[in-house]
Structure 1
Amino acid sequence: MNQHVTAEVADRAYSTASEDVVRLTDLKRRFGATPALDGVSLTVRKGEILGIIGRSGAGKSTLIRCLNGLERPDSGEVFIEGREISRLGERELQPLRRRIGMIFQHFNLLSAKTVEDNVALPLKLEGRPKAERLARAAELLDLVGLSEKAKAYPASLSGGQKQRVGIARALAARPALLLSDEATSALDPETTRSILALLKDINRRLGLTILLITHEMEVIRSIADRVAVIDAGCIVEQGPVWSVFADPRSEITKSLLGGIRPQLPAEIASRLVPGAGGDAILRIDVAGEAARAPLLSDLADALPGPFRLVHGGIDHVQQQPVGTLFLAVAGNDENHLSQVIAFLKARQARVEVLGHVAGSV
């Protein structure tokens, strides 16, 4: 294992001095009248994990094909390790493609070849000697925990094992960038967690830059450093994962987060009405220091009055506390409600009045 890691570290000297492994500038691609990419600009920094998330048809597949040179943009620039690739011919693209590893949703293993031969295939295509290929395959199978499966065939493997072979194969040529295209979508939740943990470990051990394409926000939450949200061919929001989770700005981001952020219980949500009357229901979002503070006890000390926590909690994303609380503020005193909201906002909480509910909550 140590020899393997040392070889990987030495190989990274190949990379340019730039900290941006990928840089996209105003990328546009249309299919007929439909814009698949409509002015996409973003960077992927050396050693980071960037997650790109969006619904089906948002432009994710076109973006990844532009990154590996399989699709040419109509306009804009694609830089890989400081070199613009979108206008290169096929012969010039070949050595650059070896700097990009790719893992797929459905594994794309060759059923007639053994596990070690699948892993060694990129090196065979490069014309490397057999002994070198097999030695590299052995190192990588050790890395992904499948040394005992070297002589097995893909048909005998589980889905998670097949994806581990796919990851090992993607690393064979010591790439600068690993592209993951919905790599866990075909896996069960437990296997997904193990594959994501493996990718995070590879990123940590080797300093490998990873770009994840996914429609699952839980994947982003698990391992990404930054997230970019794509919708209708445009990047609508991007930033550190914890920050985007704590304060999503676009409606598509809020929708994608809906399954993993606390939501107001349906029984209460169904009774919400606009305007005054009954208990006011507040949604309170906090992150960082605001989430660490004793917010509700401080509120009770500062503004005595009936209020009650009805739902919510604090989670941790990238070692940062991120919380969503739903608070019922009793009574029809609009002045008291305004004071509660002002108090919470003064402590860096984001507050939204969702409506009012008659009767007890």
Structure 2
Amino acid sequence: MNSFVSAAAIGAKAEAAVDIIRLSDVRRRFGETPALDGISLTVRKGEIFGIIGRSGAGKSTLIRCLNGLERADSGEIHIDGRDIAGLAEQELQPLRRRIGMIFQHFNLLSAKTVEENIALPLKIEGVAKPERLQRARELLDLVGLSDKAKAYPASLSGGQKQRVGIARALAARPALLLSDEATSALDPETTRSILSLLKDINRKLGLTVVLITHEMEVIRSIADRVAVIDAGRIVEEGQVWSVFGNPQTAITRSLLGSIRPQLPEHITARLSAETGSEAILSVDLAGPEAQGALFADLSAALPHSFRLVHGGIDHIQNQPVARFFIAVPARDPRLQDQVAQFLTARSARVEVLGYDTDHA
């Protein structure tokens, strides 16, 4: 076992119920604009927690409040058991060493070698050179760059630079790792490798990771829980499979549009709000019902009541999630209600999208 995998880290999973972050009614305004408007959430030790939202939703302000770079106007911000909201700058310094940061654009020093970049936080702390270089070598091994210790950032690919950034963030053995759009500048293949590395670090070290991102696939791939932020407020929160499989708010459904089945455009284009031969319904499911005999049961209960138009089943966190589009004959208004009631009773979220004007 590598020396940096401490006994405390091994035991971190056993402490998973303990909150490492707890925010209560956090508010921050810039002039008349509320950047954070009553944020309350908790992140447990050892989990990977995702925060998603559009640009300007408040994600960057939130992460700056978490590491003490931004001061909240009101509310409580507990990090690793301590309320940091009222701490003086001098008191914040030791706390910041408990928080590792990885950034979208790496923030490496071009004049320093890879190992010097990684060891820099330890140098600032006053750690002796042999010890900090030993730590740098351990971390280079962890992130798969053992042969790049003497290289300079200019010679590295984007993915390698981000691995160095991750290693540097881990140098001081933080209790919390914050990732601020860390994969946004990377291609899809490199993004997958970085996410796999973060998942591996979380598993090996028991390290809590908070991902701030607008990329839904990032959250889908590795997060345990997710919060959706919009206009400075948390509008939805829960297990990733549950939120992605059955989103409750319009903003969440919009954000997930790129990774969830969508009604084909040629059908959407001919939908009417009031007239048509068929009503088109979207059906969202998450959990066991998503791969059960739902539609067979529906056909048995209401023969000839629908046809499947589009959709599919995915698996997130080993849980099935599904989205289907079905067409229900519009000749009998009661039939549409009966179908919706049947599906809703089986934990589906059903929405009438419109009426197909062309289907015969």
Task: Give the structure-2-normalised TM-score.
Answer: 0.95
CA contact (8 A) 2:305 2:339 kept: no
| Mapping of residues 333-348 of structure 1, within 5 Å | 333-348=332-347
Corresponding residue number in structure 2 for 1:287: 286
Corresponding residue number in structure 1 for 2:33: 34
Offset at residue 225 of structure 1 (A)? 1.0
Distance 1:18 1:274, change over 3 A: closer
Please give the root-mean-square deviation of Cα atoms over the aligned residues, in Å: 2.1
Q: Deviations over 1:283-309 (max 9, x none)?
A: 111111111212222222232216321
Corresponding residue number in structure 2 for 1:2: 2
CA contact (8 A) 1:11 1:174 kept: no
The answer to whether the aligner puts 1:325 opposite 2:327 as a matched pair is no
Distance 1:244 1:258, change over 3 A: same
Q: Deviations over 1:46-82 (max 9, x none)?
A: 0111111111111111111111111111111111111
Corresponding residue number in structure 1 for 2:262: 263
CA distance in 2, matches of 1:29, 1:133: 38
| Mapping of residues 185-200 of structure 1, within 5 Å | 185-200=184-199
CA contact (8 A) 2:16 2:47 kept: no
CA distance in 2, matches of 1:179, 1:152: 26
CA distance in 2, matches of 1:11, 1:246: 32
CA contact (8 A) 1:103 1:166 kept: yes
5+ residue gaps in structure 2?
none
Corresponding residue number in structure 2 for 1:233: 232
Offset at residue 276 of structure 1 (A)? 5.0
CA distance in 2, matches of 1:62, 1:335: 49
CA distance in 2, matches of 1:29, 1:92: 21
Q: Deviations over 1:295-338 (max 9, x none)?
A: 22222223221632111000111111110000112351223333
Distance 1:327 1:295, change over 3 A: same
AA aligned opposite 1:3? S
CA distance in 2, matches of 1:18, 1:302: 44
CA distance in 2, matches of 1:79, 1:289: 36
AA aligned opposite 1:253? T
The answer to whether the aligner puts 1:69 opposite 2:68 as a matched pair is yes
Offset at residue 11 of structure 1 (A)? 9.6
Offset at residue 8 of structure 1 (A)? 6.5
Offset at residue 7 of structure 1 (A)? 6.3
Offset at residue 347 of structure 1 (A)? 2.2
Offset at residue 270 of structure 1 (A)? 0.9
Corresponding residue number in structure 1 for 2:242: 243
AA aligned opposite 1:123? L
Corresponding residue number in structure 2 for 1:104: 103
5+ residue gaps in structure 1?
none
CA contact (8 A) 2:23 2:40 kept: yes
Corresponding residue number in structure 2 for 1:177: 176
Corresponding residue number in structure 2 for 1:47: 46
CA contact (8 A) 2:305 2:335 kept: no
Offset at residue 257 of structure 1 (A)? 0.9
Structure 2 counterpart SS, 1:128: coil
CA distance in 2, matches of 1:48, 1:232: 25
CA contact (8 A) 1:18 1:82 kept: no
Q: Could you tell which deviates more after superposition, 249-258 or 147-156? A: 249-258
Structure 1 counterpart SS, 2:192: helix
CA distance in 2, matches of 1:102, 1:91: 19
CA distance in 2, matches of 1:115, 1:141: 9
CA distance in 2, matches of 1:54, 1:3: 38
Corresponding residue number in structure 2 for 1:58: 57
CA distance in 2, matches of 1:339, 1:233: 39
AA aligned opposite 1:2? N
Q: Deviations over 1:137-189 (max 9, x none)?
A: 11111111000111111000000000000000000000000000000011111
Distance 1:175 1:356, change over 3 A: same
Offset at residue 360 of structure 1 (A)? 2.5
CA distance in 1, matches of 2:98, 2:26: 21
Aligned length: 360
Structure 1 counterpart SS, 2:218: helix
CA distance in 1, matches of 2:10, 2:345: 50
AA aligned opposite 1:4? F
CA contact (8 A) 2:49 2:223 kept: yes
Q: Deviations over 1:237-295 (max 9, x none)?
A: 11111111122222211111111111111110111112354012111111111112122
AA aligned opposite 1:133? R
CA distance in 1, matches of 2:178, 2:135: 20
Corresponding residue number in structure 1 for 2:131: 132
Q: Could you tell which deviates more after superposition, 325-334 or 209-218? A: 325-334
CA distance in 2, matches of 1:301, 1:82: 55
Percent identical: 72
Corresponding residue number in structure 1 for 2:22: 23
CA distance in 2, matches of 1:306, 1:63: 48
AA aligned opposite 1:161? Q
CA distance in 2, matches of 1:18, 1:218: 26
Corresponding residue number in structure 2 for 1:204: 203
CA distance in 1, matches of 2:328, 2:32: 51
CA contact (8 A) 2:27 2:35 kept: yes
